[in-house]
Amino acid sequence: MYFRVRWPDGEIQRCYSPSTVIADYFEPGAVYSVADFVECSRQALGIASARVRAKYGVACAAAADQLVEIETTAAAFTDERRAAVTVEALLPASGSPR
């Protein structure tokens, strides 16, 4: 599943989760503080990776890589008190918006 987000600077990023658990954490159109977005991403991608591990015996490298990208991008906005991330869409792996 993909989730498309807009960062405080207007940059759009398409993020990947190997599990639909991301839909339990984010809602299309919702706005999150950068800190909340990062924390929810950590939780959701951690669960997604654990699900892959349970099924295939190894953690999901793509989920870990995605979290690193999110954390790296978020680091640029730590000094902005009102910085917010908008979840624009949740997209199944086929790419159709949800």
Q: Quick: pLDDT tens for 44-96.
A: 999 999 999 999 999 999 999 999 999 999 999 977 777 999 999 999 977 44
- Sequence-distant (6+) residues with CB within 8 A of 85 are 5, 6, 7, 8, 31, 32, 33, 34, 37, 74
Would you say residue 70 lies in a domain?
yes
Mean pLDDT across 10-25? 96
Which residue did the predictor score with more confidence, 75 or 98? 75
**pLDDT(97) > 60:** no
pLDDT of residue 96: 45
Would you say residue 96 lies in a domain?
no
Would you say residue 97 lies in a domain?
no
Would you say residue 11 lies in a domain?
yes
Would you say residue 98 lies in a domain?
no
Domain range for 86 is: 2-91
pTM value?
A: 0.89
Quote the number of domains for the chain: 1
pLDDT of residue 55: 93
What distance in Å separates the CA atoms of residue 92 and residue 68, rounded to the nearest whole number?
21
